[in-house]
Amino acid sequence: MNLTLPQAEALTSEIVQILKTEVLSNVPMVLCPPALYLTRVQHLIKDSANVFLGAQNVFYEPSGAFTGEISAPMLKSVGCTYAIVGHSERRSYFGETNEKVLQKVQALIQADIRPILCIGEVQWQRESGITLQIIEEQLRDSLFAVSETNVAKVIIAYEPVWAIGTGLTATPEQAQEVHAFIREQLTKQYGATIASEMTILYGGSVKANNAKGLFSQPDVDGALVGGASLNSREFVGVYQALGSV
């Protein structure tokens, strides 16, 4: 929940301008502005190669008396091809459960929008040594009801909640440990071929100066960028780091 519309337009325009010379053909970039700005950002990026529009949230019903909510068909109609679900802030501030997140994942798949499914542990869970247990539960309850046919459409974003907005970042080794575990769970549920094809992002204070170390890990496929995305050069720096590994 950042920036006014003029500020969001300026930021998007700066990113688009930089990408005219620095876009990577093999690395998609997804911009996820507040819902109010989706149509404007879509207009600004429409001529940019490999840049796509995403939403920060979705409701799980396609229509109805759900005042204030936004459905997957609505998102599709304004050009969204991605949407974030299960972000830790949605879980903590709005009480979203794994079961509700699963409903959102399924609604997005139904609308042909790729879900970016966020999972991750809070600080006390990390300190208690139950990180992998929490990850396993979130995958089981938020994802594993999705069929083999559709699951590869889902992007998983591991976000250690203790590293969001705190300046703390999981070390590359910590990130890899959890990402490898996620890949292992996907392999058990869906098989090695599907698991190897799925994208697993890291989210948690990713910046241009630490991105390359994270991306050098074998199971870290990209980043879900938070605060650094509000600075065009910093954000593109993270993007460029992925192209250099």
Q: What is the 3-state secondary structure (H, E, C) of 65-129?
A: CCCCCCEHHHHHHCCCCEEEECCHHHHHHHCCCHHHHHHHHHHHHHCCCEEEEEECCCHHHHHCC
In the set 96, 121, 159, 234, the catalytic residue is 159
Active site residue 159: yes
Distance CA 193, CA 187 (A): 8
* Cα–Cα nearest to 139, from 169, 170, 118: 118
Distance CA 130, CA 111 (A): 35
Look up tokens 């700005």; give the residue. Answer: 37
Look up tokens 């998983």; give the residue. Answer: 156
What's CA 163's distance to the chain center, in Å?
15
In the set 87, 96, 121, 179, the catalytic residue is 87
Is residue 201 a contact partner of residue 159, using CB atoms and an 8 Å limit? no
Is residue 76 a contact partner of residue 53, using CB atoms and an 8 Å limit? no
Active site residues: 87, 159
